[in-house]
A = this chain, B = another copy of it.
Amino acid sequence: MAKLYFKFGAMGCSKTAQALITKFNYEERSMKVLLLKPSVDTRDGTDVVRSRIGLESRAVCVPADRDIYALYTEQYRDRKVVIVDECQFLTPEQVDQLGQIVIDYDVPVLCFGLSTDFQTHLFPGSRRLFEIAESITEIKSVCRCGAKATVNARFDDEGHVLFSGDQVCLGGNDRYMAMCRRCWLKCRQAQEAQGIFT
């Protein structure tokens, strides 16, 4: 039986590259893949998914109010696998719709994304995936200290780690770095010792 997969990892762990390699592998076996990406505006469309290492592919963009089950049923029934990049931005309802595709069509759905934001809180899509995914695996990456990175630290222009702010900050990954919890908490202590409260 097909499963709903959640493959989560910290910033810079190559989630997108993993998504594109998985797509490539299925296509090599002649299985057509639907690649989805949650979009931040309200229009359906296509967009290019790019990994930092240089892989890319066209994806179907789905806004938050789009019913993915209907989308699949009406337009993509020929696809034997569904892959979602940046799945943390799915709504919980969309995760349930993906879960229903798995059950009704016996099609595997693989979701790649972050689990937590820069304050170590789950994204809504990630929360729902932890709740109903049949397979939960971590894509590992390392902190600068060599330990496993689990926190997505956000930095301001002066290089201070931020501990408050909006969950989603449009404008890019250059302000994020994956760290281990230990180093992240040390940064906070060091900043607060200098009277910097972010």
Contacts and interface: CB of A to CB of B under 8 A. Distances in A.
B136 A127 contact: no
Interface string A24-38: 111011110000000
Interface string A118-157: 0011100001001111101010011010011010000000
A106 to B, nearest CB: 9
Which of A17, A31, A141 counts the most B-chain CB atoms under 10 A from its CB? A17
A29 B142 CA distance: 8
A25 B12 contact: yes
A55 interface: yes
A14 interface: yes
**Oligomeric state, in number of copies?**
4
Contacts of A113: none
A182 interface: yes
A134 B120 contact: no
A103 B115 CA distance: 21
Nearest to A115: B130
Contacts of A20: 53
A162 interface: no
Contacts of A115: 130-131
A63 interface: no
Contacts of A136: 136, 138
28 contacts: A1-B147, A12-B25, A12-B28, A13-B25, A14-B25, A18-B21, A20-B53, A21-B53, A24-B52, A24-B53, A26-B142, A28-B52, A29-B142, A30-B144, A53-B55, A54-B54, A55-B55, A115-B130, A115-B131, A116-B131, A120-B132, A122-B130, A127-B130, A130-B130, A132-B181, A134-B148, A134-B181, A136-B136
